[in-house]
Structures are given as structure tokens and as C-alpha cells.
Amino acid sequence: MPGYHAGRPPRNKGLHYPADPPRVEEIVAVMRQAGSGPQGDRMRGLIAVLWRAGLRIAEALDLAESDLDERRGAVLVRHGKGDKRRETGMDDWAWDRLRPWAEFRRELPVGRLFCIIDGPTRGRPWTPSGVRSQMRHLAVEAGVRRRFAPHQLRHAHAVEMAREGVPLNVIQRQLGHTDLGVTSVYLQGIDNAEIIDTIHGRRAPMMSASAALQI
């Protein structure tokens, strides 16, 4: 029944999963699987925020329309982990994915950015459990054969920034981590093949001409 699990911790609370972020192709496949109309626009907008701004699911679902500043490319997180406030950046591609939902959202009662669309609870906040359940089903339908959850998108954001050469301290602040060690855990999602290829492609050790002449 709706609301049966209200107030209960999620079943996976306290469990630790290996860093296994989805690939770009898999994330896009799930976004396409969401379909057309407001339901699809809402899911694509949420995935864009989780993936391209690196927000936690609770942070994303707590957003208000006024927390978005597309002109600056900024998203305001009012209550991050430990109730800390921060601003994160989000790229133009993500803003484009979010815009259809943001425009439809104006027709609904004032409230959280990501909200329920139909029924007597129309305009009220979308629940984390509802998001996780829908994402799981969409991933299965899209043929994604790995765990696909909101936090995996946050991992993907961190790994992609590291690959692009973004400094670790910038990644740390974007994710809202107080400890660089926590940020490093997120980067464990870098594929072993990528590490091997990077090391395998290193230049041969170089020797100065003067060193070569020494007896």
C-alpha cells in the first residue's frame, strides 16, 4: 500500500556496494527508456541533475525551482550532508535535459522541483524509494545489466571529472565531501582496463646525454 514504508529506512541502508558507475551509453539508454511526456521529462531531468551535477538523491529531491540558476550554470544545495549548504556546477547539456520538465513544473502547485504529477498528492515531493524503484525498472527495460541507482550516477560524475583532468580538490567541493579520502573512494570506479592502458602507454624512461657519457 502507498505509504507502507513511510518513515522506515531503505532496505539497503548501511550496505556498501563496490564502485561500479554506469557507462555513458547505459545512462543515455535509461533516459531514452523513460519515454515521452511529463513522466519521461521528469525522470530525464532528475537523471541529468544526479549525473551532471553529482547530487545525492536527497539533495536533488529537496531542490526548489528557485535553487536553479541556469544563467550561471549553478545549482544551490540548501541542505547537503550534515546540513551543509553549497553551490554546484552543471553543464549546458544537463540544463537542456532539465528544461522540458522545469517548464511543465510551472503548471503544478508550488513545491519541490521534482514532484508527483498526478492524483491527490499532485505537486508533493517525489520520494527516494519511488525514484529508485522506477530507475530499476527502466534500467532492466533498457537492457542495463548492472545496478542502476541514484548514487551510481554520482559516482559516474566523479569518475568522469577525474578522467577530464579536473583537480581532486574541485571534485571534492563539487560533491560536498569534507574529506579527500571519501572523494578518492568514488574514483575507484575507474575501470582497470583504463589504468592498464594508461600505464602501458607511458613513454620509455629518458636519460640525459651527460649521464650516458659517465663511466
pLDDT for residue 81? 85
User: So where are the chain's domains?
Assistant: 24-191
pLDDT for residue 95? 95
d(CA 207, CA 49): 49
Tell me the three cell numbers of residue 154.
554520482
- Domain 24-191 CATH assignment equals 3.30.70.270: no
pLDDT for residue 195? 46
pLDDT for residue 20? 80
- The per-residue pLDDT string of the chain (215 residues; one tens digit each, 9 = 90 and over) reads 444 455 555 555 554 445 588 999 999 999 999 999 999 999 999 999 999 999 999 999 999 999 999 999 999 999 888 888 898 999 999 999 999 999 999 999 999 999 999 999 999 999 999 999 999 999 999 999 999 999 999 989 888 888 888 888 888 888 887 766 566 666 665 555 554 455 446 565 565 555 555 55
